[in-house]
């Protein structure tokens, strides 16, 4: 044991004490040229929150427009642009990069005891590609908007729409590269840079979920890339791959698009599952029940995700046999998802649960993911889907999965790791208020839409029959509560940067490696590479005794 | 020879000296080497999937417009395509030799081999230029720019759309590859590589083999299969 006069309880010598990744060097330039995964993670965090704000504003506008059955604040084409930009910003700017690129970048190396990701400069390049893609998307908004829906369906997107489709799709194409490179970087990092003793089965489960996510990013995103290139060329030169009037096949676009975008749904949800696992394990103060089952179910979800894209096309005219097969395969995803659900509950069972703010988000995740996942089964069932196809039921379902589950997990993770990232504690009370309004507002807004959907309200419609008006208005009121909840959460976190109390190294009593270094961490994460002797989530004997 | 040394191309691990820069976050040189190689392989997987979408589109439209595809593929120049295939396979061979000579500290030989590879790549593009200008002259451009009138079957433009997309994206890869080979060549001139450190040469080599491999599939698919 080293002398305590020269080394503090974290093993930091006097030379590094008081220094961290935030104050090591100063100035904007030092941030823009950094190769430190923690700084890159923070820059991603700020970027995806801006994307979230942008998508959120469009969401509130869309909901406001739907307050009345006829025109409320915008005309039909503006409405098409508003919901397209809401979808595109939320999916591509926020939810796909949200957890992997921000929290993942920050914590993946910390959790395996590495100094950085395998390719730090490539990591910075990913961030710049994300920014370049975002600029193209913003340019599309400024130069006439996009009104195709975030799916860019042909032939509307390739020949009919007069808006800035090329700029938007090129932006998504560039962001796809960013996603691929981040995934590639993570896979290599997890394979090559684990600290001594950190075997695969000792890794925190968040990392297994990021590993599964990265596999999907690397294997699915290139197909989206070529699809968007074909779309761009189709629009520019009328080449006839997708446009039926030129001999092309619009259903081929749907196959290509969903071959990426269905796995992309799991790019969105898997990291959320990982974050939830960390929160539940830390705050139930137990080792995760069924560690390997959760780890392998992540990988299983990643693999099955490639086989189910056809369930987006039940009514596209594909053969009934194909539809039946895709329906059958779709149900398979429920198995690993159910395994996870039961293991989370098993982890909570008999745990000494503390209801910290992250834990509230973690439990909300379980609740909302259960609803989102189970309603997915309704839609996977052929006969039921024929009724529910393209109704608000679908809208409510995917909002429960993407926003209710992933975004809630993201904000839970943000609270969970905020002290580690910033070195500041936030105001618990205010954070609870923010959480409560978010949770209530979310269910208020979107549970209403399940009812709208079963009654036949089609999605994407600008005007609607008067009979739907009360429910639409009710949903819109919920969106205001939801917006207020996020605003309070944002204020709470921003305020903590100024007035928050200094965070200890381990505010929640976590068992994973990132809590074994200072808050905020020093530039190279650990002064000496940690040697891992405990299993995942195992606490040292003196702590558990 | 140990298995590890075999994986390192015949170089014993102990010979990987600390003379070159090992980035701060790697514990030792061969971890860095392995990580780099794994990264390149993963990247190549994404490249194959990128082209995979086009191969998929080709297969679908070929079955949909079979007569048109048969008719259109006769407009491609088999001789030029064949020459390019030979040129590219040769360049892949010299690239492989260049990696080997870099491993064996034969700097001059490496330079010559990389220069030949570069020349072959340039020759490929020159042949491609003649092919393209011939197509453009005949009005065989894809889609809205397709002006050739003497086709018996419908939708010949789709064949050329896929042809130009596939060969065009492949051509971009050739150009990028030339840049990379040139970069390796200049670094080799500066004595940066040795039996202890040749990872960039090998990684660029892997990329170049993929460029060659894609063409080996493109050539029969577009030029030969009728």
User: Least CB-CB distance to A188: which of B38, B157, B165?
Assistant: B38
pLDDT in the model for residue A219: 94
Q: Residue B194 in 3-state DSSP?
A: strand
Mutation site for B-interface testing, chosen from A182, A185, A192 by largest number of B Cβ within 10 Å: A192
Q: Is the pTM of this model over 0.90?
A: yes
Pick the closest to residue A146 from A134, A131, A161, A156 (CA basis). Answer: A161
Lowest mean pLDDT among A90-104, A153-167, A208-222, A444-458: A153-167
Closest-CA distance, B58 to chain A, in angstroms, reads: 10
Which of A208, A221, A332 lies closest to A270, judged by CA? A208
A190 to chain B: nearest residue by CA?
Answer: B35
Q: What does the DSSP assignment read for A5-74?
A: TTS-TT---TTTTT--TTTSS-SHHHHHT---HHHHHHHHHHHHHHHHHHHHHHHHHHHHHTTSSS-SSS
The per-residue DSSP string of B33-98 comes to: HHHHHHHHHHHHHHHHHHHHHHHHHHHHHHHHTHHHHHHHHTTS-HHHHHHHHHHHHHHHHHHHHH
Average pLDDT in the A289-296 region? Answer: 95
CA A103, CA A279: separation in Å to the nearest integer? 13
Contact list in B for residue A192 (CB cut-off 8 A) is 31, 34-35, 38
For the stretch A232-241, pLDDT in tens is 999 998 888 9
Q: Say whether residue B65 is in contact with chain A using an 8 A CB cutoff.
A: yes
A256 in helix, strand or coil? helix
Please list every residue in chain A whose beta carbon sits closer than 8 Å to the beta carbon of residue B154: 247
- Give the mean pLDDT of chain A: 93
B1 touches A: beta carbon within 8 Å: no
Q: Chain A residues with CB inside 8 Å of B58's CB?
A: none
Among the partner residues A188, A226, A240, nearest to B35 by beta-carbon distance = A188
What is the distance between the alpha carbons of residues A322 and A258, in angstroms, rounded to a whole number?
15
With CA atoms as reference, the chain B residue closest to A114 would be: B25
Q: Which residues contact A413 (CB under 8 A, 6 or more apart)?
A: A99, A103, A275, A278, A279, A358, A361
What pLDDT sits at residue B27? 83
Tens digit of pLDDT for each residue in A153-170? 989 999 888 899 999 999
CA distance A334 to A337: 5
Mutate which of A108, A129, A241 to disrupt the B interface (most B C-beta within 10 Å)?
Answer: A241
| CA–CA distances in Å: residue B171 to residues A57, A372, B125 | 43, 45, 7
Q: Which residues, listed in sequence order, are joined to residue A424 by a DSSP beta bridge?
A: A502
Please tell me the predicted confidence (pLDDT) of residue A301. Answer: 95
- Residue B109 CB neighbours (<10 A): 15
Q: Tell me if A239 and B154 make a contact (CB, 8 A cut-off).
A: no
Angle in degrees, CA A258, A262, A264, rounded to 5: 115
Residue of chain A with shortest Cα separation from B68: A247
| Residues of chain A with a CB closer than 8 angstroms to some CB in chain B | 109, 114-120, 122, 180, 184-185, 187-189, 191-193, 218-219, 221-223, 225-227, 229-230, 233-234, 237-241, 246-249, 252, 256, 524, 529
Q: Which residues from A are below 8 Å from B60, CB to CB?
A: 249, 252
pLDDT digits (tens, 9 = 90+) for A9-60: 666 776 667 788 998 888 899 999 999 999 999 999 999 999 999 999 999 9
Average pLDDT for A73-91: 94
Reported ipTM: 0.90
pLDDT in tens, A439-453: 999 999 999 999 999
Instruction: Inspect the interface and report whether the beta carbons of A233 and B161 lie closer than 8 Å.
Output: yes
Pairwise CB contact (< 8 Å): B169 & A184: no
For residues A525 and A504, what is the distance between their CA atoms, to the nearest angstrom?
Answer: 16
Tens of pLDDT, residues A500-533: 999 999 999 999 999 999 889 998 898 888 899 9
> Quick count: other Cβ atoms within 10 Å of Cβ A471?
17
Q: Which residues of A are less than 8 Å from B42 in CB distance?
A: 184, 187-188, 218
Low-confidence ranges of chain B (pLDDT < 70): 1-20
Nearest CB among B31, B39, B53 relative to A227 is that of B53
**Alpha helix positions (H), A89-157:** 96-97, 105-112, 120-142
Question: Token pair of B135, please?
Answer: 């197509």
- Name the percent of chain A lying above pLDDT 70: 97
pLDDT of residue A4: 44
What's the distance, CA B36 to chain centroid?
19
Chain A residues touching residue B157 (CB < 8 angstroms): 239-240, 246-247
CA distance A510 to A284: 10
């Amino acid at each position: 044991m080293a002398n305590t006069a020269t080394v503090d309880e974290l093993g930091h010598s006097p030379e590094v004490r008081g220094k961290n990744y935030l104050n090591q060097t100063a100035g904007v330039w030092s941030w823009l040229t950094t190769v430190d995964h923690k700084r890159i993670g923070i820059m991603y965090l700020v970027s995806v929150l801006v994307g979230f704000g942008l998508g959120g504003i469009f969401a509130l506008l869309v909901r406001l427009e739907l307050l009345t059955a006829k025109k409320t604040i915008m005309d039909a084409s503006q409405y098409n642009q508003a919901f397209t930009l809401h979808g595109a910003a939320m999916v591509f700017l926020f939810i796909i990069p949200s957890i992997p690129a921000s929290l993942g970048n920050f914590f993946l190396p910390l959790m395996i005891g590495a100094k950085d990701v395998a390719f730090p400069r490539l990591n910075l390049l990913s961030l710049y590609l994300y920014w370049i893609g975002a600029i193209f998307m913003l340019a599309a908004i400024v130069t006439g908007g996009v009104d195709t829906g975030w799916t860019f369906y042909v032939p509307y997107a390739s020949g009919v729409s007069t808006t800035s489709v090329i700029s938007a799709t090129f932006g998504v194409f560039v962001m796809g590269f960013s996603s691929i490179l981040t995934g590639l970087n993570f896979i290599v990092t997890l394979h090559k840079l684990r600290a001594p003793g950190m075997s695969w089965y000792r890794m925190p489960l968040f990392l297994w979920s990021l590993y599964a996510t990265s596999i999907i990013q690397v294997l699915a995103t290139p197909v989206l890339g070529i699809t968007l290139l074909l779309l761009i060329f189709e629009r520019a030169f009328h080449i006839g791959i997708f446009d039926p009037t030129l001999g092309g096949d619009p259903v081929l676009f749907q196959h290509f698009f969903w071959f990426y975008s269905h796995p992309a749904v799991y790019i969105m949800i898997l990291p959320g599952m990982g974050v939830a696992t960390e929160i539940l394990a830390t705050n139930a103060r137990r080792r995760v029940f069924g560690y390997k089952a959760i780890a392998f179910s992540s990988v299983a979800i990643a693999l099955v995700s490639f086989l189910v894209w056809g369930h987006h096309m039940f009514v596209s005219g594909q053969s009934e046999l194909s539809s039946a097969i895709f329906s059958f395969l779709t149900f398979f995803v429920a198995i690993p998802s159910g395994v996870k659900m039961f293991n989370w509950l098993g982890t909570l069972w008999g745990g000494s649960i503390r209801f910290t703010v992250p834990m509230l988000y973690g439990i909300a995740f379980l609740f909302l993911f259960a609803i989102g996942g189970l309603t997915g089964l309704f839609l996977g069932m052929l006969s039921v889907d024929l009724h529910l196809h393209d109704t608000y039921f679908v809208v409510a379902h995917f909002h429960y999965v993407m926003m209710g589950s992933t975004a809630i997990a993201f904000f839970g993770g943000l609270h969970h790791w905020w002290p580690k990232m910033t070195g500041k504690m936030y105001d618990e009370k205010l954070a609870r208020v923010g959480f409560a309004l978010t949770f209530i507002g979310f269910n208020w807004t979107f549970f209403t839409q399940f009812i709208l959907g079963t009654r036949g309200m089609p999605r994407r419609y600008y005007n609607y029959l008067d009979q739907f008006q009360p429910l639409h208005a009710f949903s819109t009121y919920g969106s205001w509560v939801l917006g207020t909840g996020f605003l309070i959460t944002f204020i709470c976190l921003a305020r903590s940067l100024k007035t928050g109390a200094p965070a200890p190294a381990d505010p929640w009593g976590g068992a994973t490696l990132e809590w074994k270094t200072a808050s905020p961490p020093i530039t190279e994460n650990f002064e000496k590479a940690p040697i891992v002797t405990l299993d995942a989530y195992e606490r040292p004997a003196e702590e558990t005794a | 020879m140990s298995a590890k040394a075999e994986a390192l191309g015949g170089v014993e691990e102990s010979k990987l000296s600390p003379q070159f820069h090992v980035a701060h976050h790697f514990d030792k040189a061969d971890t860095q080497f392995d990580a780099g190689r794994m990264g390149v392989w993963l990247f190549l997987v994404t490249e194959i999937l990128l082209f995979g979408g086009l191969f998929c589109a080709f297969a679908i439209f070929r079955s949909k417009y079979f007569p048109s595809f048969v008719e259109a593929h006769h407009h491609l120049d088999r001789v030029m395509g064949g020459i390019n295939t030979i040129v590219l396979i040769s360049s892949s061979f010299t690239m492989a030799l260049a990696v080997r000579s870099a491993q064996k500290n034969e700097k001059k030989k490496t330079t010559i081999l990389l220069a030949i590879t570069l020349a072959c790549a340039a020759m490929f593009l020159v042949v491609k230029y003649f092919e393209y200008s011939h197509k453009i002259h005949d009005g065989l451009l894809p889609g809205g720019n397709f002006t050739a009138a003497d086709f018996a079957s419908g939708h010949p433009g789709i064949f050329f759309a896929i042809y130009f997309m596939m060969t065009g994206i492949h051509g971009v890869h050739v150009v990028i590859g030339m840049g990379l080979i040139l970069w390796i060549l200049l670094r080799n001139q500066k004595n940066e590589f040795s039996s202890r450190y040749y990872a960039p040469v090998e990684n660029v080599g892997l990329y170049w083999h993929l460029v060659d491999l894609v063409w080996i599939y493109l050539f029969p698919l577009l030029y030969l299969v009728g």
